[in-house]
Amino acid sequence: MKTYGSFFEDIEQRRAELAQRKKDQMARLKQQTTQGASDTDQLVASNKERIAKNQKAADEKKQAAIEKRKAAQAARDEAEAEKEKKDALKDEIRQDLAREREDRRKAIETKRMEKERAQAED
Protein backbone atom coordinates (compact mmCIF):
# COMPACT_ATOMS: atom_id res chain seq x y z
CA MET A 1 0.00 0.00 0.00
CA LYS A 2 1.11 3.55 -0.70
CA THR A 3 2.13 5.84 2.01
CA TYR A 4 0.92 9.37 2.34
CA GLY A 5 4.26 10.67 1.19
CA SER A 6 4.29 8.65 -2.01
CA PHE A 7 0.62 9.44 -2.55
CA PHE A 8 1.29 13.18 -2.31
CA GLU A 9 4.38 12.78 -4.50
CA ASP A 10 2.22 11.06 -7.16
CA ILE A 11 -0.32 13.86 -6.94
CA GLU A 12 2.40 16.49 -7.24
CA GLN A 13 3.94 14.61 -10.17
CA ARG A 14 0.54 14.36 -11.88
CA ARG A 15 -0.09 18.06 -11.31
CA ALA A 16 3.29 18.87 -12.82
CA GLU A 17 2.58 16.60 -15.79
CA LEU A 18 -0.85 18.20 -16.20
CA ALA A 19 0.68 21.68 -16.07
CA GLN A 20 3.31 20.60 -18.64
CA ARG A 21 0.60 19.14 -20.90
CA LYS A 22 -1.37 22.39 -20.63
CA LYS A 23 1.76 24.37 -21.52
CA ASP A 24 2.43 22.06 -24.47
CA GLN A 25 -1.19 22.31 -25.61
CA MET A 26 -1.10 26.10 -25.37
CA ALA A 27 2.18 26.21 -27.28
CA ARG A 28 0.71 23.91 -29.98
CA LEU A 29 -2.48 25.96 -30.13
CA LYS A 30 -0.48 29.17 -30.36
CA GLN A 31 1.66 27.68 -33.14
CA GLN A 32 -1.43 26.44 -34.99
CA THR A 33 -3.07 29.84 -34.63
CA THR A 34 0.06 31.56 -35.91
CA GLN A 35 0.34 29.04 -38.77
CA GLY A 36 -3.37 29.48 -39.56
CA ALA A 37 -3.01 33.24 -39.62
CA SER A 38 0.04 32.95 -41.84
CA ASP A 39 -1.80 30.57 -44.19
CA THR A 40 -4.78 32.93 -44.23
CA ASP A 41 -2.52 35.88 -45.04
CA GLN A 42 -0.93 33.90 -47.87
CA LEU A 43 -4.35 32.88 -49.17
CA VAL A 44 -5.59 36.47 -49.02
CA ALA A 45 -2.46 37.72 -50.80
CA SER A 46 -2.73 35.07 -53.53
CA ASN A 47 -6.44 35.82 -53.96
CA LYS A 48 -5.73 39.54 -54.22
CA GLU A 49 -3.08 38.83 -56.84
CA ARG A 50 -5.45 36.56 -58.76
CA ILE A 51 -8.24 39.13 -58.56
CA ALA A 52 -5.88 41.88 -59.74
CA LYS A 53 -4.75 39.72 -62.66
CA ASN A 54 -8.35 38.88 -63.58
CA GLN A 55 -9.34 42.54 -63.29
CA LYS A 56 -6.47 43.55 -65.52
CA ALA A 57 -7.51 40.95 -68.10
CA ALA A 58 -11.12 42.12 -67.88
CA ASP A 59 -10.04 45.75 -68.28
CA GLU A 60 -7.96 44.85 -71.34
CA LYS A 61 -10.91 42.96 -72.86
CA LYS A 62 -13.21 45.89 -72.12
CA GLN A 63 -10.75 48.34 -73.69
CA ALA A 64 -10.39 46.10 -76.74
CA ALA A 65 -14.18 45.94 -77.08
CA ILE A 66 -14.41 49.73 -76.79
CA GLU A 67 -11.74 50.17 -79.45
CA LYS A 68 -13.50 47.66 -81.69
CA ARG A 69 -16.82 49.50 -81.28
CA LYS A 70 -15.13 52.82 -82.02
CA ALA A 71 -13.50 51.39 -85.14
CA ALA A 72 -16.81 49.91 -86.29
CA GLN A 73 -18.60 53.22 -85.64
CA ALA A 74 -15.90 55.11 -87.53
CA ALA A 75 -16.25 52.70 -90.46
CA ARG A 76 -20.05 53.14 -90.41
CA ASP A 77 -19.69 56.91 -90.24
CA GLU A 78 -17.23 56.87 -93.12
CA ALA A 79 -19.51 54.63 -95.19
CA GLU A 80 -22.47 56.90 -94.44
CA ALA A 81 -20.47 60.00 -95.39
CA GLU A 82 -19.41 58.29 -98.63
CA LYS A 83 -23.04 57.36 -99.34
CA GLU A 84 -24.20 60.92 -98.67
CA LYS A 85 -21.48 62.25 -100.94
CA LYS A 86 -22.53 59.78 -103.65
CA ASP A 87 -26.21 60.71 -103.21
CA ALA A 88 -25.35 64.42 -103.39
CA LEU A 89 -23.42 63.79 -106.60
CA LYS A 90 -26.39 61.85 -108.04
CA ASP A 91 -28.77 64.66 -107.08
CA GLU A 92 -26.47 67.19 -108.72
CA ILE A 93 -26.36 65.12 -111.91
CA ARG A 94 -30.16 64.78 -111.88
CA GLN A 95 -30.52 68.55 -111.45
CA ASP A 96 -28.09 69.16 -114.32
CA LEU A 97 -30.01 66.77 -116.56
CA ALA A 98 -33.32 68.35 -115.60
CA ARG A 99 -31.86 71.83 -116.28
CA GLU A 100 -30.54 70.69 -119.66
CA ARG A 101 -33.95 69.18 -120.55
CA GLU A 102 -35.65 72.39 -119.48
CA ASP A 103 -33.18 74.47 -121.52
CA ARG A 104 -33.74 72.25 -124.57
CA ARG A 105 -37.50 72.46 -124.11
CA LYS A 106 -37.29 76.26 -123.83
CA ALA A 107 -35.04 76.45 -126.89
CA ILE A 108 -37.45 74.30 -128.88
CA GLU A 109 -40.39 76.36 -127.60
CA THR A 110 -38.61 79.59 -128.54
CA LYS A 111 -37.87 78.28 -132.05
CA ARG A 112 -41.47 77.15 -132.44
CA MET A 113 -42.77 80.54 -131.35
CA GLU A 114 -40.37 82.30 -133.74
CA LYS A 115 -41.63 80.11 -136.58
CA GLU A 116 -45.23 80.88 -135.69
CA ARG A 117 -44.49 84.62 -135.63
CA ALA A 118 -42.68 84.38 -138.91
CA GLN A 119 -45.61 82.49 -140.42
CA ALA A 120 -48.06 84.95 -138.92
CA GLU A 121 -46.19 87.91 -140.42
CA ASP A 122 -46.10 86.37 -143.84
pLDDT value at position 1? 54
Stretch 111-119: mean pLDDT, rounded?
Answer: 88
Q: What radius of gyration do the chain's Cα atoms show?
A: 51
Q: How confident is the model at residue 23 (pLDDT cuts 50, 70, 90)?
A: very high
pLDDT in tens, 43-87: 999 999 999 999 999 999 999 999 999 999 999 999 999 999 999
**CA–CA dist 43, 49 (Å, integer):** 10
Residues with Cβ within 8 Å of residue 10, at least 6 apart in sequence: 2
**CA–CA dist 95, 119 (Å, integer):** 36
Q: Would you say 40 and 48 are in contact if contact means Cβ atoms under 8 Å apart?
A: no
Cα angle, residue 65 at apex, residues 59 and 70 outer, rounded to 5°: 125
Q: Would you say 101 and 94 are in contact if contact means Cβ atoms under 8 Å apart?
A: no
pLDDT value at position 21? 94
